[in-house]
Amino acid sequence: MINIRKYNSKLLNNPGVLYCGRGRTIEDIGFGNPFSQKPGTARFQVKTLAESLGCYEAWLYKLLKAYQQQQTRKLERWEKAYLKRVIKLAKDIENGIVTDLICFCIDLEDYQPNDSNEYNCHTQLLYKVVLEIQQITSH
């Protein structure tokens, strides 16, 4: 389980806290969602939050599938970089280095995805894929 915390600049310097948003440019995606319904630094503009989350989830699973099938060479350079960060995040969470993910959307303590979850934030989807990577790498 992980804590997903609503953005507060005071939290950023705490040990175990990782910001999961985009940077200030399109190239600086960080752990942000490259799909957004808002103008700004997203790579891809969509119409609604639901579309943003749906596109992000599909894209994350495209990355996960490439990772599972050892087909990452087919990904674009920025996608490979994102996947590499997500794989490292999976290890850091598993090792207790990262305990809290920070975003601008929600505040959830001891978050654990399940089949009935409705997603309101890309960080929930990111964590879901992190758990799947942990399962893959533990075998």
DSSP letters for the chain: -EEEEE--GGGTTSTTEEE-S--SSSS--TTS-SEESSSSS-SEE-SSHHHHHHHHHHHHHHHHHHHHTT-GGGS-HHHHHHHHHHHHHHHHHHTTS--EEEESS--EEEE---TTPPP-SHHHHHHHHHHHHHHHHT-
* Whole-number percent of the chain with pLDDT over 70: 96
Q: Is the pLDDT of residue 2 over 90?
A: yes
Give the model's confidence band at 117: pLDDT under 50 very low, under 70 low, under 90 confident, else very high: low
Q: How many domains does the chain have?
A: 1
Mean pLDDT confidence for 100-114: 90
Q: Which domain covers residue 51, as residue numbers?
A: 2-137
Q: Is the pLDDT of residue 83 over 80?
A: yes
Confidence (pLDDT) at 26: 64
Single pTM value for the model: 0.91
Separation CA 67–CA 13 (nearest Å): 31
Q: How far is CA 91 from CA 26, 75, 94, in A?
A: 26, 22, 5
Confidence (pLDDT) at 121: 92
Confidence (pLDDT) at 39: 84
The residue that leads in pLDDT, 26 or 22, is: 22
